Structure 1
């Protein structure tokens, strides 16, 4: 079944394999599976490995989630534990259950 909805490109900036980084990635994957199933790509960037990449998206704190596509670009800082805040921040309308 084809949909005309866009694929979502999400970039999660972390600094090492910290509990907060793991929590942010876990929460992000959960929300994407619930609300964007099959329509998303998550790129995880560890700034301890590639610190030069922080400049491109103007990252000042970690973890930070950047929604690249669809536009507008949005950023959410923190471990993404507040689902409502993350969905509103990404402009995702929760699936009606």
Structure 2
């Protein structure tokens, strides 16, 4: 270990922290960590709520369009078969 890294410890012990004055010591760091953790927790809760709402909306759209597709296939089975064959043929040509 060289002299530069020995003089500044990136992970000070409690004894080293208590010797510093004006920085608030470990209590100040703990309070700052709690505030950061609380703000991150609130952000995660907000994100979770928004994702949940978006997921519910997507499930509703999927169900609606799924029902419309079923109705179309039931009313025109030959057309649906032709469209599926054409889509498969085109995808096969592209991937070849």
More helix by share: 2
TM range (shorter): under 0.3
Name which one, 1 or 2, has greater alpha-carbon Rg. Answer: 2
Q: What TM-score comes out, normalization by structure 2 length?
A: 0.22
More strand by share: 1
Q: What TM-score comes out, normalization by structure 1 length?
A: 0.22
